[in-house]
Structure 1
Amino acid sequence: MKEQAELTARTPPEIDEAASDRRLGESVRLLRQNMGLSLQELGRRAGLSIGMISQLERGLATPSVRTLRLLSLALQVPISFFFEERAEGPSPRYIVRRGQRRLLRLTPSGVLKESLAPDAPGQMEMYELTLSAGGSSGPDFVKHQGEKAGYVLAGTLRLWLDHEAHLLEAGDSFRFPSTVPHMFDNPTDAPTRIVWITNPVEP
């Protein structure tokens, strides 16, 4: 019960989901245009349909974790590029204070991502993920170059690696090559929190 209360207390306040989707879609559209890519070419690079990308850019759809990862790889930016702007205040080069974490809410997927890494360019991405009951990375497996690792802070994580399910509880950890087909979800009725680390380049 104490763990559940802590998770609930840490949940950020409700936001305008439509405005958040529009901001995310605008980020994708501007980045695509700056790279000189058509919808067709971005779709080909990301392995996504033109209709899906068009809906995302117009703020009419919220991407899954999988879709956002495919877009980030195709557009050659870290997923943190799509996060909300940092809260007001100084931004240390190497430190991220708890109150200054940038957020990404993928509400339909039941996923909240908080960036734990500074904004300065680097090879490693680090997040705290909160998965609501039934939350998931999306309905499909994804694979790409790089490596992933994580640590379950609270709750239960079902991690699918090469179509095999692994149930992880608080205190469990993992690491695997991102070339292994993978996806994840929270099969319980309580929130799950994970520290998630990604190195999107081949180790």
Structure 2
Amino acid sequence: MRVVIAEDSVLLQAGLARLLGVAGIEVAATVGDAEALLAAVAEHRPDAAIVDVRMPPTHTDEGIKAALVIRRQWPAVAVLMLSQYVEERYAADLLSANTSKVGYLLKDRVADVAEFVDALRRVASGGTALDPEVVAQLLLRHTNGPLDRLTPREREVLAHMAEGRANADIAETLVITESAVAKHINGIFAKLDLAPGDGDRRVLAVLRYLREG
């Protein structure tokens, strides 16, 4: 796997490059602003871009805007956003069009190298990785809507789906069988009015979850 890192903190940039190198992931370029990120992606066409949400010059949303450009112009390039704080609005913006090849993690998550690398590989292979803390805040802020139809266990399962976890991982985490997970997922689809012909219902359920949150 080849990646580009966009992070204006020199220490974090170097740390990311080092830990990815140890994990056998090639770092094609490291940059410190959004303009340089887009140039690097155009030049190297990496498998994934790791992008800080807030970058120069204003340190507001330059990173997320650049990520949206990457999603439009180079859809084959996966995007893994890093943020210092939970900013679920940016996560929803990033996932509004497509939930494949995208992730949104807190920078603290980098400290768990195995978990971070696993999330990066999952995103690069076409999946989703949403930080559990973002999921938790979405649940806390949720008020009236379709999600109110779900049972507490179904909400737990949907939260893990939003993190990009497979049925086997969800079953292990919740200490239930995979068949029970599948049953809960079918219940989620039914209660969110997602019919078998509605494309990728798993993705649509996560999008509904984000929008309701």
TM range (shorter): 0.3 to 0.5
Q: Give the TM-score of the pair, scaled to structure 1.
A: 0.33
Larger radius of gyration: 2
Would you tell me which structure has more helix in proportion to its own residues? 2
Q: Give the TM-score of the pair, scaled to structure 2.
A: 0.32
